[in-house]
Amino acid sequence: MKRLNVELPDVVTRVSEFVPEIVKFIEKIISNGYAYEANGSVYFNVAKYNDGVKHKYAKLEPTSALDTEKLLEGEGVLTTDLETSEK
């Protein structure tokens, strides 16, 4: 980091210090329809996010925005399985 000229942090925080804020944030994402609970976990709803006019989920790669195969590699496979099983 020093060679990249990145300054050292002057404050160190722990995620455990922000659990209530994180829970509130996740609840908001769920209430907006962009996440769902399944098997005791919360998952991002890739299909719902892709329905939006202003955004496409691209797994941090803009060129893969509508690449179904890449979505199925990860969290998208769970979304697809749940949607199929609910119909």
More confident residue, 42 or 51: 42
25 found inside a domain: no
Measure the CA–CA gap between 85 and 17, rounded to whole angstroms: 38
56 found inside a domain: yes
Predicted TM-score of the model (pTM): 0.53
22 found inside a domain: no
Token pair 């404050």: residue: 11
CA distances from 64 to 55, 70, 72 (A): 13, 7, 12
8 found inside a domain: no
The boundaries of the domain holding residue 80 are 35-86
For residues 54-62, average pLDDT:
63
Count how many domains the chain has.
1
More confident residue, 38 or 24: 24
Question: Which secondary structure element, helix H or strand E, spans residue 43, and what is its range?
Answer: strand 41-44
Q: Does pLDDT of 44 surpass 90? A: no
Measure the CA–CA gap between 79 and 29, rounded to whole angstroms: 15
pLDDT of residue 33: 87
58 found inside a domain: yes
49 found inside a domain: yes
Listed residue (18, 53, 54, 50) closest to 34, CA to CA = 50
